[in-house]
Amino acid sequence: MADNNAHLNELIMSMAKKRGLDKTFCPSEIARQLSSKEDEWRSLMEPVRLAAAKLIGRGQLVCKQNGEIVDILTVKGPIRLQITSD
């Protein structure tokens, strides 16, 4: 399980670094990268969000909704992730 978490963290942070400080990305982009079937990505959203929550807790990312920083663990609806520094 630790290997899966490390892999998720790497994917999330890689995407965040590619986007840079000015851009955000949807967690579904990570889930889609991980899925081998088109309809499988939705089942991966919870693990991706939990991994992102840990990275947010470490101060590496922020979670946004409608341009405002929100709590990833309580927010409902679509969110975006953004790196906090390069």
Between these two residues, 84 and 4, which has the higher pLDDT value? 84
pLDDT of residue 50: 97
Give the Cα separation of 14 and 16 in Å (integer).
Answer: 5
Domain count, the chain: 1
Domain that holds residue 16: 2-83
Token couple for 76: 């409902």
Q: What is the mean pLDDT of the chain?
A: 94
CA torsion angle 31 47 1 12 (round to 10):
50
Least Cα distance to 4 among 40, 46, 64 occurs for 46
CATH of the domain at 63: 1.10.10.10
CA distances, 75 to each of 35, 46, 64, 79, 80 (Å): 24, 13, 9, 8, 11
Q: What tens digit of pLDDT does each residue of 28-57 get?
A: 999 999 998 888 999 999 999 999 999 999
